Amino acid sequence: MQSDSIAVLGAGVMGRSITALALGRGVDVVLVDVSDAALRDARTDIAQHLRHGQFMGVLPSGRTPGALTTTLSAEDAAGAASVIEAITEDASAKARVMAEISALVPPGVPLITNTSGIPVAELAKSVQRPAELAGVHFMNPAYLIEMVEVVRGPRTGDATMTAVLSLLERLGKKTVVVRDAPGFVTSRLLHPMINEAARIVSEGTASVESVDLLMRGCLGHPTGPLRTADLIGLDNLADALRLLAERTGNSTFEPCELLMEKVRRGDLGRKTGRGFYDYGEVLS
């Protein structure tokens, strides 16, 4: 690896999207996962993301992409200049991964958790150097959405914030720094809105399409909350809502029954081909 490479932990939807963003900006990436199959599929998806990003004009078409290395070993991430954790939104799993990588990388390497709502202070308990941990909430797809939410934990150091903001600038991102709290800003607002939209559908007040049409046409939401839910992944959304309910003590944040019914059926959104909408085939 080059000294300015990054490591991405997790080859799921967000890990692939973040990897494509970095590669498209000429940054070398080591992508780590526990599954050979996930890494094989990731290579195909990342290539598609790169083509899409260049077609949309959000990734430079004339720049040589960074080099991609895929691996099953977290030890291969030890030489990266920055590490981005992008596994599933499970607090205990994130803590285990952060503890492992913290023991492998040398001092001075920023550790970035791509969480949609788990407090950075909570995850900081698992790492050896809490001052080197910060949160960056990338939106999906990371290579298309220009802005990111940057979360400074109560123990995050100035040097880490400088390094993280510099990396995000290199990746072409606009940033807004917020203080640490459950759900931060975007998830605290967006996820309960999606949950309420699903409740409205389950109560028979309006169809999925009508809810999204009204939100787009009357309130300026770019895609509608339920189509956004399909993009996030309904399983990820349900996990995030449960975490939000636990950490705020607000039971209204618990995922509604319609959302949980879809998760139990495996209708998780675009990644499985069906969620609130039917996409006809499995999409990346």
- 284, pLDDT greater than 50: no
Q: What is the pLDDT of residues 118-153, one digit of tens each?
A: 999 999 999 999 999 999 999 989 999 999 999 999
Q: What single letter denotes the amino acid at residue 67?
A: A
Per residue in 48-95, pLDDT tens?
A: 999 999 999 999 878 899 999 999 999 999 999 999 999 998 999 999
Tokens matching residue 64: 């040589």
- Assess whether pLDDT exceeds 60 at residue 205: yes
82 φ, ψ (degrees, to nearest 5): -145, 150
Q: Over the chain, what is the mean pLDDT? A: 95
pLDDT tier at 283, thresholds 50, 70, 90: very low
Strand partners, 271: none
Spatial distance between the Cα atoms of 238 and 246, rounded to a whole number of angstroms: 12
Does 16 have pLDDT greater than 60? yes
Which has the higher per-residue pLDDT, 9 or 280? 9
Q: Helix or strand or coil: residue 119? A: coil
- CA dist list (Å): 189 to 35, 51, 205: 33, 32, 22
What global pTM score does this model have?
Answer: 0.90
Q: Which domains are seen in the chain, by residue range?
A: 6-179 (3.40.50.720), 186-272 (1.10.1040.10)
Evaluate the omega torsion of the peptide bond into residue 141 and state whether it is cis, within 30 degrees of 0: yes
